[in-house]
Amino acid sequence: MQRVVVFCFDNVNALGLVRCLGEAGYKPECYCYGEETEYILSSRYISKGIGFKTKEDCFSFLLDEYPIYEEKPVLLTIPDYPAYMVDSHLDHLKKKFIVMNAGETGGVIHWMNKKNIGDLAQKHNLTIPWTIELSKNDDIPENIEYPVFTKSIRTADGGKCDESICRNREELKSRMKTLTSNKFLVMKYIQKKKEVNFFGIAIKGHVYINYCDERTRLPKDGYGHYNTCKKITNDNLYKNMVSMIQETGYEGLFDVEFLEGNDSVLYFMEVNFRVDGTVYRLTPGINLPAEWCRLVNLPDSELPDSLNGKKECFSGMNEYSDFKASVLGGLVNPFVWFVQFIMADKRMLVNLMDPKPMFVKTFYRVIRKLHHD
């Protein structure tokens, strides 16, 4: 079976990717970085792996020390930093791995730029919020309508720490001083009714998008962790997304993020050119990482016209984050949450077929807390 390598951070989404592969019969190697790599590496599905303290150490191992095999392994990345690092050294890494890419070194990085992908989305008739690019030393335009949302042009530059809501000019001026990125985006703040993500695979000009997820339980100014996944139809929105992805020249897994505002408009946000964190919750319908590993070595003539999904509609939960946001945050009754937890088709941490990561994570959390105290 195809050898698969995962380059990831130590979060539950990476564990989901490992489980996607394992449940499809693959035995992935996992090279991850962070403070809590133990629970990721304890998954029964991993054939071998190493935990590193920093992303640089992890990447250096893959770049310089990982062996070259006659049959190249597939390299899957999650989240943005690994994708960025791999794309920066694409010419070297593609000699030893099958790598998700946009044709040339820096191709994915170009489209990870939110200004570039926003312009492309508009070209393909997707709606984006009004957006301007500023630098820290720029004067704030007088005609801005508040509230606004700040974000990095590239997630790898500032990430979510640069995301913030500014409700007036004074807040924006103060926030500009603390942003990680020198250049950043200021955009219309969308009072969101729901988050909508579309998931797919692109390969040799073929683009497959079968499912989306919707999240309507949203903490104030936060992100949802409980979602309903649905099969989609080939409507105009689907066709616009397909044509946009085709123009990027990208090959690999991706997801397209939207927010639906209180005005019922669906606003394009960005494309994630790597494995998405929700991908494991999608597996009652389709196992995208496994599909990518199945398709990636097929000649163009053997690629299918479409991929077959299973369930039409199902639910998924990042139970740890959702409990904190929804129960402790007062969004949902604890009894209702517990019923949803039991009934969810997929949960990110609790898994009877792969139970060890939950216990290992809990054990090390307790040890670290006692050590810190």
At residue 184, φ and ψ (nearest 5 deg) are: -155, 170
The CATH code that applies to domain 4-103 is: 3.40.50.80
Structure tokens at 269: 């946000």
End-to-end CA distance of the chain: 47
Q: What are phi and psi of 120, to 5 degrees?
A: -65, -40
Would you write out the chain's pLDDT as a tens digit for each of its 373 residues?
Answer: 899 999 999 999 999 999 999 999 999 999 999 999 999 999 999 999 999 999 999 999 999 999 999 999 999 999 999 999 999 999 999 999 999 999 999 999 999 999 999 999 999 999 999 999 999 889 999 999 999 999 988 776 666 788 999 999 999 999 999 998 888 999 999 999 999 999 999 999 999 999 999 999 998 878 899 999 999 998 999 999 999 999 999 999 999 999 999 999 999 999 999 999 899 999 999 999 999 999 999 999 999 999 999 999 999 999 999 999 999 999 999 999 999 999 999 999 999 999 999 999 998 888 877 776 6
H helices of 154-250, in order, are: 155-158, 169-176, 236-248
In whole angstroms, what separates CA 365 from the centre of its chain? 24
310-353: pLDDT as tens digits: 999 999 999 999 999 999 999 999 999 999 999 999 999 999 99
Element (H, E) at 291: helix 288-295
Specify the pLDDT at position 157.
67
Return the pLDDT at 167: 94
List, for residues 192-241, the tens digit of each pLDDT value. Answer: 999 999 999 999 999 999 999 999 999 887 889 999 999 999 899 999 99
Cis-peptide into 299, omega within 30 deg: no
CATH 3.30.470.20-classified regions of the chain: 192-347
CATH topology of domain 130-188: Dna Ligase; domain 1 (3.30.1490)
Q: Name the phi and psi angles at 372, rounded to 5.
A: -65, -40
Q: Is the peptide bond before 304 cis (omega within 30 degrees of 0)?
A: no
Q: What is the DSSP string of 36-51?
A: -HHHHHT-TT-SEEEE
Task: Report the pLDDT value the prediction gives residue 352, as an integer from 0 to 100.
Answer: 95
pTM given for the model: 0.93
Q: In whole angstroms, how far apart are CA 287 and each of 7, 183, 301?
A: 18, 37, 22
Contact, 301 vs 291, CB < 8 A? Answer: no
- CATH 3.30.1490.20 residue window(s) in the chain: 130-188
pLDDT at 68: 95
| Bridge-based pairing state of the strands 74-78 and 98-99 | parallel
The pLDDT, as a whole number, for residue 158 is: 62
Options 3.90.1150.10, 3.40.30.10, 3.30.470.20, 1.10.10.60; CATH for 192-347 is 3.30.470.20
Dig out the tokens for 217 from the structure.
Answer: 């339980």
Listed in order, the ranges of the chain carrying CATH 3.40.50.80 are 4-103
Q: What is the pLDDT of residue 92?
A: 95
| Residue 87 to residue 106: CA distance in whole angstroms | 6
